[in-house]
Amino acid sequence: MAFPLDPDTVSHGIALSVAPVFLLTAVAGMIGAVANRLARIIDRARLLEERIENHTRPQDNAKAYKELSVLRNRGLLANTSIALLTLCAFCIGITIIVLFLGETVDFTGLRLSIVAFLAGIVCFLLALACFLAETLIAARLLNFAKPQSTRN
């Protein structure tokens, strides 16, 4: 079954469906940033696990186990953020498809584009909240103690 497609209708459909693509660019950037943070969390956890295996002093291990616990929470937040960003991208992709189909062929499911777009925005906001929580936890781990001055 062939649909008669008017070139003006197709170009308007493309123009309409391209607007959400800019959100996909932001989502891709966020996924890259969060994935980079997750990689650093994993690297730090591996380093601490190696230190635990090589240390015999209980106070050193206790400190490392505490930091590992914090890293586990940060990793969970980063993973959740990536999952929400991926779901956001999926919802925005559905929005683009539905908007294009609604503009070019006789497609009556335009309400789906509203639901998909809003779901994508909610996922994006939740992912940002997870990212914020992860960065706040990371900032609490920072130790800005002044270095000991040496006497000459």
**Are 104 and 8 spatial neighbours (Cβ–Cβ below 8 Å)?**
no
The rounded distance, in Å, linking the Cα atoms of 128 and 132 is 6
Q: Residue 30 above 90 pLDDT?
A: yes
Quote the tokens at residue 125: 């906001």
| pLDDT for res 19 | 76
Report the Cα 37 to chain-centroid distance in Å: 10
Confidence of residue 109 (pLDDT cuts 50, 70, 90): confident
Q: What is the mean pLDDT of residues 32-39?
A: 97
Distances (CA, A) of 50 to 60, 73, 116: 12, 19, 45
Write the burial class of residue 133 (CB in 10 Å: 0-12 exposed, 13-18 middle, 19+ buried): middle
Q: What is the mean pLDDT of residues 46-72?
A: 86
Quote the tokens at residue 69: 């616990």
| pLDDT for res 1 | 47
Q: What is the mean pLDDT of residues 73-102?
A: 94
- Residue-wise pLDDT tens digits, 125-146: 999 999 999 999 999 877 666 6
Which ranges in 19-105 belong to alpha helices (H)? 21-54, 58-104
The rounded distance, in Å, linking the Cα atoms of 85 and 107 is 28
- Residue-wise pLDDT tens digits, 55-67: 767 777 888 899 9
